[in-house]
Amino acid sequence: MQPLAASDHLKLQQWFLPERPGPLVWAHVVQTGHGRCLVDRWPNPRTVVAQVADNYSLPFLVRTPGPGPDD
């Protein structure tokens, strides 16, 4: 996982909205600048983590099946 620049945090919005009940980790990171976002690769992440203090958000995107490189 690699840290994502604060200027790119808003680009992860599709991963985190709507947020689920519980700590609003990504929103806190974006609004306060405290915490960080991590991605497995950029600019097309497959895995994203938002972290502030000991709170983590590990969202997932539901993707529509379609032809891939193995199809």
Q: What is the pLDDT of residues 4-48, one digit of tens each?
A: 999 999 999 989 887 778 789 999 999 999 999 999 999 999 999
Residue 11 lies in a domain: yes
Residue 64 lies in a domain: no
3-class SS at 3?
A: strand
Find residue 57's DSSP bridge partners.
Answer: 50
Question: How many structural domains compose the chain?
Answer: 1
Model confidence, pTM: 0.77
Residue 69 lies in a domain: no
Residue 34 lies in a domain: yes
Residue 70 lies in a domain: no
Cis peptide before 59 (omega within 30 of 0): no
Q: Domain of 17?
A: 2-57
